[in-house]
Structure 1
Amino acid sequence: MTDEEMVNHLPHVVAHIDRAEAELRLWVQELRRRGVTWTRIGEVFGITRQSAWERFSGEE
């Protein structure tokens, strides 16, 4: 690919990332609804309970 082709392809990559992130949030929301702890979710990502909460809770 040329540099220009690669640059023009970037929006497609970003769209895939955005869709994956949205799906990931839905899965985490469902796990929380089922009572899975932030600690357990954090373990999957190799992050702390607090980091998992900050990333996925939707709370400030």
Structure 2
Amino acid sequence: MWYSENGTDYIQVLKNQIVTQEAFKFKNSVINTRFIKLKARHTDPIAGSKTWLFCDEIQIQ
């Protein structure tokens, strides 16, 4: 879920929710002048070529 507060865009997901790196790249290409800062990041080697991110909050700044 994306929302804005004081000019900053945020996305919040459940603590155990799985989000693919491709989803971040797509969102980042839409806003292209900002970058993604991951507060919590864990990679899953079982996923193979894909990087799975388990995030409490992702802030775009």
TM-score (norm 2): 0.29
Q: Name the structure where strand makes up a greater proportion of residues.
A: 2
